[in-house]
Amino acid sequence: MFDDNKLTAARLWVISAGRSGTRSPDGPRNQPYLARALYALIPTPSDDVLRMTVDEGWRLYMNPEWLAAASVPDVGRELAHLVWHLINRHADRARGCGVSESSASRWRRAADEAVGEFTDPAGLRPCHIRLIRNDTQITVETRFEQLAGDSAPGADSCGLDECGSGADGISRSYESPRTTDLPQVSRVDGELIRRDVATAFLRSAHGRGTGGYIALARWAEEIVNPVVPWQQILGAAVRGAVTTATGGGDYTYRRLSRRTATAPNIVLPSRQRVIPEIAVVIDTSGSVDERMLGQALTELDNIVSTLQISERGLIAVSVDTSAYNLRRVRRATDIDLFGGGGTDMTVGIAAVAAQRPRPEVVIVFTDGCTPWPAQPIAGTTLVAVLLDSRSGAPPATPEWAIRVECVDEAL
């Protein structure tokens, strides 16, 4: 058995407001937004753990003797620390980084440091966990890579079982398998809890700008209002433009419709897939980020290959204030880049629009600091791909163009 009253008191201690001293028992916890997560934990007594651990099913393994001897604040700090491992999906992310038993201690240290950004402002970091590094605004994956080969003391800030599989994705012998019928939190319910915590934080005083909670505010905003990767937006934009250009396809009598058998006296044409003409206009002025341009062109090749329209190739042209080397290429990454002067994409757009047949889709890769055509091109969909728009206010694009902002994820 375990002391359920102390566990309840510890949960209440975390969510209630303290008075003074960040590290004192009466310090400023005031974490009501964690209530849903704290009460979702499923207590399980276990003599195999030193203090407390969690598995991926939100089962909380507790050493009854430790729980009986520990103070309410110490138990509360352990609960908050473990809950943040679960809310941040550290087990799934560890698997994504290929974490094994040999690298688990490094991952746990990185995860502890990431959790510290959330717990430290409220005085909720457990006393036995030391933070060797204090980098902010970097992911746990980046921390994990930075710690490779680091032999600094405290590299294993948690013991072997200190946090459990809920922190590193590696099952322990004492943990119940997820395939059992024992109570657990499903992955779907875990995501709902995660979103509820983020929403509750943004509605709280902390989420409205109270100091010291920058990392938490950033995390909550990303959960509630996620930023869709530009690669997905670019893919959706190009696919949408191609679908609009091809419509329902065309008909041909070279191959008869399968419905002809039902009407033997009538010759019915079959529908054929129309491959659209796609043109690529590339801004080669000196202000364009070449690395971002390379990433965007590679992504375009992936999209074209997926759509199975690469057999026709692409019409391509490089542009600064003049159009250079307009030709057909098999891949966007094969385009020769010429120029390096000013920026006027209207020159390149006009050059590809003059081709016959006229392209149904024109994709312009630019930093956006350029004039645009005053009117849309009849029968053509224009996709304006802005490279590295985070460097300043996003430049304006025509309202009739499809706009995609490619943001440098390294910034």
> Do residues 100 and 126 both lie within one domain?
yes
Under 8 Å between Cβ of 72 and 7: no
> Do residues 129 and 156 both lie within one domain?
yes
Q: Over the stretch 183-212, which tens digit does the pLDDT of each residue have? A: 999 888 999 999 999 999 988 867 666 556
> Do residues 103 and 49 both lie within one domain?
yes
* 352, part of any domain: yes
Find, among 227, 246, 221, 323, the residue nearest to 281 by Cα: 323
Residue 377 to residue 354: CA distance in whole angstroms: 11
* 253, part of any domain: no
Confidence (pLDDT) at 40? 96
> Do residues 178 and 327 both lie within one domain?
no
* 256, part of any domain: no
Q: Over the stretch 353-395, which tens digit does the pLDDT of each residue have? A: 999 889 989 999 998 889 999 999 888 999 998 887 555 566 8
Identify the H or E element spanning 300: helix 290-307
- Answer with the residue of higher pLDDT: 204 or 167: 167
Question: Which segment, 56-65, 256-265, 276-285, is predicted with the most confidence on average?
Answer: 56-65
> Do residues 217 and 291 both lie within one domain?
no
* 202, part of any domain: yes
Q: Which CATH number does the domain housing residue 310 bear? A: 3.40.50.410
> Do residues 154 and 209 both lie within one domain?
yes
DSSP 68-83: HHS-HHHHHHHHHHHH
> Do residues 58 and 188 both lie within one domain?
yes
| Residues in Cβ contact with 21 at an 8 Å cutoff, skipping those fewer than 6 apart | 27, 123
Least confident of 53-67, 73-87, 294-308, 386-400: 386-400
Residue 288 to residue 282: CA distance in whole angstroms: 10
* 258, part of any domain: no
* 254, part of any domain: no
* 255, part of any domain: no
Amino acid at 291: R
> Do residues 175 and 244 both lie within one domain?
no
The pairing of beta strand 361-366 with beta strand 59-62 = unpaired
Residue 320 to residue 269: CA distance in whole angstroms: 47
**Average pLDDT score, the chain:** 81
pTM above 0.85, yes or no: no
Going by pLDDT thresholds of 50, 70 and 90, the confidence category of residue 156 is very low
Residue 322 to residue 342: CA distance in whole angstroms: 9
Please compute the mean of the pLDDT values over residues 115-121 and round it to a whole number: 87
Domain residues for the domain of 300 are: 230-248+274-406
What is the C-alpha R_g of the chain?
Answer: 29
Q: Which string of b and e fits 337-365 if b means at least 16 CB within 10 Å? A: bebeeebbbbbbbebbbeeeeebbbbbbb
> Do residues 15 and 145 both lie within one domain?
yes
Confidence (pLDDT) at 304? 79
> Do residues 286 and 185 both lie within one domain?
no
* 262, part of any domain: no
Tally of helices (H runs) and strands (E runs) in the chain? 13, 11
Q: Over the stretch 68-111, which tens digit does the pLDDT of each residue have? A: 999 999 999 999 999 999 999 999 889 888 888 888 989 998 89
Question: Which segment, 149-153, 176-180, 315-319, is predicted with the most confidence on average?
Answer: 315-319
Angstrom CA distances, 79 to 20, 109, 163, 190, 334, stand at 21, 17, 10, 16, 55
Q: How many domains does the chain have?
A: 2
> Do residues 13 and 128 both lie within one domain?
yes
